Amino acid sequence: MLPMLQSEVVTKRGWATEDEILDYFAIGQCTPGIIFVNTATFVGYKRKGVIGAIAATLGSIFPSVIIVMIIAAVLNNFAELPIVQHAFGAIRVVVGVLIVNAVIGMWKKSVVDKLCVAIVVVAFILSAIFELSPLWIVLGAALFGVALPVLKGVREK
């Protein structure tokens, strides 16, 4: 959903810039709920305030709820069929590709120097090896980003 949201919001509609959508993704990751819904809510708020946020949230939730309810009602009868199992296997692969595509796009916009690469490596290690919550990783990166200019200023004096 994130690549589709980025395409729709940035490229097609011009409701947000690339940098804004990356910020929304980051904030959406560490706020409770689904990142897609959180990001849509931020975009809705930016465009039309509280009413826009409510409309964007409802607009991003209801289609999924309806589709999941229909699939759940039908799937119970067919979940064990080999063709359904194969279909879901293929869907998982495509979802993985879409996630990798979103990561590559975000990488190109965000990782611009050696310091950024170091932050990515540390964040990956904290997440993958130590299983630290994304909330703490994002908050730590934010604090580091705030402290960095202060540290650079001290070093330059």
Q: Where are the domains of the chain?
A: 2-110, 112-157
In which band, very low, low, confident or very high, does the pLDDT at 79 lie, cut at 50, 70 and 90? confident
Contact 4, 99 (CB under 8 A): no
What is the pLDDT, as a whole number, of residue 150?
Answer: 86
In which band, very low, low, confident or very high, does the pLDDT at 156 lie, cut at 50, 70 and 90? low
pTM listed for this prediction:
0.55
What is the pLDDT, as a whole number, of residue 157?
Answer: 56
What is the pLDDT, as a whole number, of residue 26?
Answer: 83
pLDDT tens digits for range 116-134: 999 999 999 999 999 999 8
What is the pLDDT, as a whole number, of residue 80?
Answer: 85
Alpha-carbon distance of 7 to 82, in angstroms, equals: 34
∠ CA 77-78-83, rounded to 5°:
175
